[in-house]
Structure 1
Amino acid sequence: MTVPTRTLVTGATGVVGSAVIRALRAAGHPTHTVSRGSNDGTDHHVWHMGAEEPPAALRGPWDAIVHCVADTRFNLPDTEAEDANILPLRAALSLAGPDTHFVHLSSSFVTGLEGDITSPSRDAYRNSYEWSKAAAERLVHAERDNADIVRFPIVMGARADGNLDRYSGFFWLPAAMCNGAVPALVAEEKGLMDVISTDDIAAHVTQLLNSGAPSGHRLSILGRGDAAQRVTDFFDTILKALNDWRAENGVAPLDPLPYVTPEQWNRFYLPFSEQYLDRVQLLKVTAFRAYQGYLSVTHPFDVTVRVPETRDVLYWSVRRWAETHESSARRVPRPWRA
């Protein structure tokens, strides 16, 4: 086994990419980084991957490439999801030689509605994010004889304090709980919510590079699997984190939101909403619908690497979000009225 001496990490300013870079450098890997924007770090390169040719300094050979670029928004049009999640991968693959250890970071949700990545049909996936990430995995298989593919669920912050370089994606939820954007939690109470710390992802990628490239395609699925938090415990943890922070800052506590099953919501409450809620309320309710499928997963992921307990990771990540988004965390929800 030879430890890579020249490693490239894409998506350097992203939540996962930044954590991976810190871990690799701490482990002694000389690491070059790429993002679309400037970065104060050394050996950083600005490159709009997939939209322009790579800078001369990035042309290989590379001992290892860790591809972290991803746009996790669910609501992108298919063409924009392709531009965000497939074209940058093609660009990264173009820099890899036959001896490059290629590591592609994917998503546990990549298997969509049918449980695998084989279908190119958009209807086999909940949204354009899943569809484009599945296409990305198929591309890695088609273009590389050997590669590591790493899947992971919802990303939380560092285990020590919940810190993230950027709070996006999932963190619409604590914001919505504080500002009253949703009147109820549309979820299966027995559903599973699997999350992971950036530390877990970064440590696993470091371990992969230290162990050397696989002989074929090696799939790692990180998470808690059947030990993941139940939906009720998950939301209780979020509420406790918010209310602990609010109590310390002199803000009234939030009340628990009622649970409504997706069937109840879509058959009864949503038709009522469409008739009687105002335009702003209806926009909020409609936007929330995109997350129903993720709050109703009752079958656990078949993980290959079970990470340690994540309840505290969720708690401290939400606390840290409140500290860094104080104006949002202080909001007092307004009652929903028709």
Structure 2
Amino acid sequence: MRSPARILVTGATGAVGSAVQRALDAAGYETYGVSRRGGTGERQYAWRIGREAVPDALRGPWTAAVHCAADTRWNLPTERAAEANIAPLRALLSAVGPETHFIHLSSSYVTGLEGTFASPSPDAYRNSYEWSKAAAERLLRSERESADIVRFPIVIGARSDGRLDRYSGFFWLPSALCSGAVPALVGDEKALLDMVSTDDVADHIVRTVAGGPPPGHRLSVLGRGDLAQRVDEVFDTILDSLNSWRAEAGVARLDHLPFVTPDQWNRFYLPFAEQYLDRAQLQRVTAFRAYQGYLSVTEPFAVTDRVADTAPVLHDSIRRWAETHSASARRVPRPWGA
């Protein structure tokens, strides 16, 4: 490894990228973070990768590049998902050069509905985000002879206190529970909902950088695997965390919502109820459909790096969400009715 080691981290203001850059800084590396708007810390730069030329301060050589940047929205048209998650990877590969240890952060859900990332068809995936991340992995493997690919499932906060720099994605759930956005939990209550802490990802990246580039394509899959919490256990943890915070804030407890299988919901309940729902309720249940597949995964991920128990981390992460989004966390759900 060259000295000094210069590390480029993309998506450095996101939940994962920010944790990765802090961990690399703490390990003694000279890290440079980039994001679309740039950050406020030292060596933080704005760069819209693939749309703008490389800023002078970010020209190589680089010891390693850690590509954390991604648009995780699940409802983008495939063209926009490609612009968000495939085009920047292609541009970054050209910018950093073949001598750079390239570390690409991906998703455990990249194997879609067929258990493989090989299919180019959007129909093989739950949504355009999964499709674009699978295409990104195929691009990386075709463009570089050596690279690390790191997959992980749902990301929650730091192990010490549940902290996240940005709350998005999964944190629609506590918000929905507090607002009454959904009348039932649509999924398989015995399915597995795997999670990792930002620390789990960041620590793995530090070890990966320290170990140097692999001789070929090296895949790491982080998670709990068959030890992941079941969906009903996840909801219990979330509800316990929210209700402990709400009790301290003098707000009424949240009740458990009933579980309904996707088949029951889509074939029976929703067609009957749609005619009675107002516009806002229809928008909520339509948006909620995107999450049904993630609450119905019964086969565990084949992890290569099993992380420690995440149930306590989830509890702390939900409390931190409530503290930082207190107006949302204080809401009293309105019952659904015709």
Tell me the percent identity. 69
> What amino acid is the match of 1:227?
L
Structure 1 CA distance, aligned partners of 2:177 and 2:33? Answer: 36
Partner of 2:296: 296
Partner of 2:325: 325
Partner of 1:36: 36
Partner of 1:209: 209
> What amino acid is the match of 2:249?
N
- The SS at the match of 2:222 is strand
Q: Map residues 264-283 of structure 1 onto 2, 5 A cutoff.
A: 264-283=264-283
Structure 2 CA distance, aligned partners of 1:86 and 1:4? Answer: 30
Structure 1 CA distance, aligned partners of 2:3 and 2:56? Answer: 24
Partner of 2:145: 145
- The SS at the match of 2:96 is coil
Following TM superposition, the consecutive aligned residue runs of length 4 or more in structure 1 with deviations greater than 3 angstroms are: 1-4
Partner of 2:123: 123
Structure 1 CA distance, aligned partners of 2:4 and 2:321? Answer: 35
> What is the TM-score with the length of structure 2 in the denominator?
0.98
> What amino acid is the match of 1:314?
L
Q: Report whether the alignment pairs 1:192 with 2:192.
A: yes
Per-residue CA shift, 1:291-334, capped at 9, x if unaligned?
00000000000000000000011111001000000000000001
2:13 and 2:38 in contact (8 A); partners too: no
Partner of 2:335: 335
- The SS at the match of 2:39 is coil
- The SS at the match of 1:229 is coil
Structure 2 CA distance, aligned partners of 1:216 and 1:95? Answer: 20
1:2 and 1:210 in contact (8 A); partners too: no
> What amino acid is the match of 1:180?
G
2:246 and 2:329 in contact (8 A); partners too: yes
Structure 2 CA distance, aligned partners of 1:246 and 1:16? Answer: 28
Q: CA deviation at 1:53?
A: 1.5
Partner of 1:106: 106
Q: More displaced, 90-99 or 78-87? A: 90-99
Structure 1 CA distance, aligned partners of 2:231 and 2:171? Answer: 16
Q: Report whether the alignment pairs 1:132 with 2:132.
A: yes
Structure 1 CA distance, aligned partners of 2:60 and 2:231? Answer: 46
> What amino acid is the match of 2:95?
L
Structure 2 CA distance, aligned partners of 1:38 and 1:200? Answer: 24
2:2 and 2:63 in contact (8 A); partners too: no
> What amino acid is the match of 2:218?
R
1:245 and 1:322 in contact (8 A); partners too: yes
Q: More displaced, 104-113 or 29-38? A: 29-38
Aligned residues: 338
Structure 2 CA distance, aligned partners of 1:207 and 1:317? Answer: 25
Q: More displaced, 310-319 or 58-67? A: 58-67
Partner of 2:6: 6
Q: CA deviation at 1:2?
A: 5.9
2:8 and 2:62 in contact (8 A); partners too: yes
Q: CA deviation at 1:48?
A: 0.8
> What amino acid is the match of 2:12?
A
Per-residue CA shift, 1:214-266, capped at 9, x if unaligned?
00000000000000001110100000000000001100000000000111111
1:182 and 1:285 in contact (8 A); partners too: yes
> What amino acid is the match of 1:240?
D
2:178 and 2:332 in contact (8 A); partners too: yes
**Structure 1: runs of 5 or more not aligned:** none
Partner of 1:235: 235
2:155 and 2:195 in contact (8 A); partners too: yes
- The SS at the match of 1:232 is helix
> What amino acid is the match of 1:30?
E
1:4 and 1:209 in contact (8 A); partners too: no
- The SS at the match of 2:91 is helix
Partner of 1:82: 82
Q: CA deviation at 1:88?
A: 1.2
1:62 and 1:95 in contact (8 A); partners too: no
Q: Provide the aligned C-alpha RMSD in A.
A: 1.1
Structure 1 CA distance, aligned partners of 2:198 and 2:325? Answer: 20
> What is the TM-score with the length of structure 1 in the denominator?
0.98
- The SS at the match of 1:178 is helix
Per-residue CA shift, 1:88-116, capped at 9, x if unaligned?
11121112223210000000000111111
Partner of 1:69: 69
- Cα 1:110/1:3, change in 2 over 3 Å: farther
